[in-house]
Amino acid sequence: MKVPGPFLYQLMGVIVNGDFGPYTMYTSQRKRFVIFPKTWPKEKATYNQTLNRQRWTQAAQRWRNLPDETKADWSALARKAHATVTGYNLYLVYILNHDVAAIATLERQTGVSVRNATGPPLPRPLQA
């Protein structure tokens, strides 16, 4: 099967990055349009991979369940710390990596408190 070129998608007014139908597409660092057929895993996910995916899912769900004020506090923490990440990314560092010390340092430096309203980090998965 012939892989469609970028002109077809530009003609449709679509800028595509990621999976689009049966293809994966992106623009390379050299500004070239790269497209190839989507590939699927050959083996089923391992137990540890499944646990890790569940932790990411739980972390994202916890972010969605946070009140808007708490999300705004995480965003303010990232902005005031001049971090090159978003509040959501900082939240994931705290929730998934248990990096309480880093977040405590940022809270002290910026004067924005986020941990009290967020709750404890997710437990680390057990290795199978």
Asked whether 27 and 33 are in contact (CB, 8 A), the reply is: yes
- Assign 26 a pLDDT band (cuts: 50, 70, 90): confident
Separation CA 7–CA 28 (nearest Å): 16
Asked whether 48 and 125 are in contact (CB, 8 A), the reply is: yes
Average confidence (pLDDT) over 76-81: 92
Average confidence (pLDDT) over 113-127: 71
| C-alpha radius of gyration, the chain, whole number | 20
Distances (CA, A) of 65 to 62, 77, 97, 119: 5, 19, 19, 12
Q: Which helix (H) or strand (E) holds 42?
A: none
- Does 120 or 88 have the greater pLDDT score? 88
How high does pLDDT run on average in the chain? 82
CB within 8 Å of 60: residues ≥ 6 apart: none
Asked whether 27 and 108 are in contact (CB, 8 A), the reply is: no
- Coil, strand, or helix at residue 127? coil
- Does 87 or 28 have the greater pLDDT score? 87
Average confidence (pLDDT) over 57-78: 92
- Coil, strand, or helix at residue 107? helix
Least confident window among 8-12, 22-26, 62-66:
8-12
